[in-house]
Amino acid sequence: MRVWFGITSVAVLAACTPSAPTMGVEQAQTYCRAKVSKPVETNVNLGVGIGSGGKVRTNAGLSVGVDVNALMSAEKSYDKCVMKNAGVAPIAPYLQPS
């Protein structure tokens, strides 16, 4: 029982640790600036296939994602995104596209 509790505790602690930075600060700023300046994202999927018996099947899909934080406060969302991806605060501030 103690061994199981110890293994479970270590697994939970490992899952709660923050992830390592995934890119440099300049890359993160570029990525986050693009992400924050376009807070609404749409994806359209169309497909055609042949099923069993030779029947043609079609499918379509539409998904819309909205980043509410970027709509409310673009500067905060940009800072948070850079911190998450680079592990440090942004060097250059977010400038609203004109």
**Taking a C-beta distance cutoff of 8 angstroms, is the pair 94, 74 a contact?**
yes
In a domain, 74, yes or no: yes
Please tell me the predicted confidence (pLDDT) of residue 85. 93
Model pLDDT for residues 52-82, shown as the tens digit of each residue: 888 899 999 999 998 888 888 999 999 999 9
Please tell me the predicted confidence (pLDDT) of residue 21. 75
In a domain, 51, yes or no: no
In a domain, 16, yes or no: yes
In a domain, 49, yes or no: no
Closest CA to 39 of 80, 83, 73: 73
In a domain, 48, yes or no: no
- Which residues is 60 bridged to in the sheet? 46
In a domain, 54, yes or no: no
Mean predicted confidence (pLDDT) in 38-60: 89
In a domain, 23, yes or no: yes
Domains in the chain: how many in total?
1
In a domain, 34, yes or no: yes
Say how far apart CA 36 and CA 78 lie, in whole Å: 6
Kindly list the distances between the CA atom of residue 53 and the CA atoms of 34, 56, 58, 60, 67, in Å, as whole numbers in the listed order.
47, 9, 15, 21, 44
Please tell me the predicted confidence (pLDDT) of residue 26. 93
pTM beyond cutoff 0.95:
no
Q: Residue 28: give the domain boundaries.
A: 2-39+67-86
**Taking a C-beta distance cutoff of 8 angstroms, is the pair 42, 63 a contact?**
yes
